[in-house]
């Protein structure tokens, strides 16, 4: 097996994760640490088989194909960015993390990746601040 792609989060995805985990924490049934574990497992699965899910939408401005992975109550919208000199194995860009009941989980995902923040591989989710 070759090198796995690195994972990055757009600013929007970082905010989505923070907001959703804070929401879960406020609920009497909430267990945000369990949701973090599930999200990290889903991201690791995406890294290992990034093309397993089909492209569902294209970002008009950049032509980037958006894919979606559902885990428990979340929908992770991501793109596979081509390998380049900096990342020979490519990158998985987490573009948004929404509640699965959101009518259109792709709505508003227009970012082209500028400002994307790489995440340490030991824990994929952006740090809670």
- Does residue 4 carry a pLDDT above 70? yes
pLDDT at residue 70 in the model: 87
Task: Give the 3-state secondary structure of residue 3.
Answer: coil
User: What residue has token string 């939408």?
Assistant: 57
- Does residue 89 carry a pLDDT above 80? no
| 84 bridge partner residues | none
| Domains of the chain (ranges, CATH numbers) | 6-101 (3.30.2310.20)
Nearest to 57 by CA among 8, 95, 4: 95
64 is written with which tokens? 């980037």
Q: Taking the chain, what is the end-to-end CA distance rounded to the nearest angstrom?
A: 35
Q: How confident is the model over 5-24, as a mean pLDDT?
A: 88
Q: Cα 61 from chain centroid? A: 20
């Amino acid at each position: 097996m070759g090198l796995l792609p690195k994972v990055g989060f757009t600013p929007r995805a970082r905010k989505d994760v923070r907001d959703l985990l804070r929401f879960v924490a406020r609920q009497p049934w909430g267990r945000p640490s369990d949701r973090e574990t599930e999200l990290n497992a889903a991201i690791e699965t995406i890294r290992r088989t990034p093309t397993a899910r089909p492209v569902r939408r294209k970002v008009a401005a950049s032509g980037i194909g958006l894919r979606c992975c559902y885990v428990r109550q979340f929908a992770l919208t991501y793109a596979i960015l081509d390998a380049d000199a900096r990342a020979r194995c490519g990158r998985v860009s987490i573009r948004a993390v929404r509640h699965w009941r959101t009518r259109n989980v792709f709505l508003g995902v227009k970012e082209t990746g500028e400002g994307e923040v790489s995440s340490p591989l030991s824990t994929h989710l952006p740090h809670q601040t």
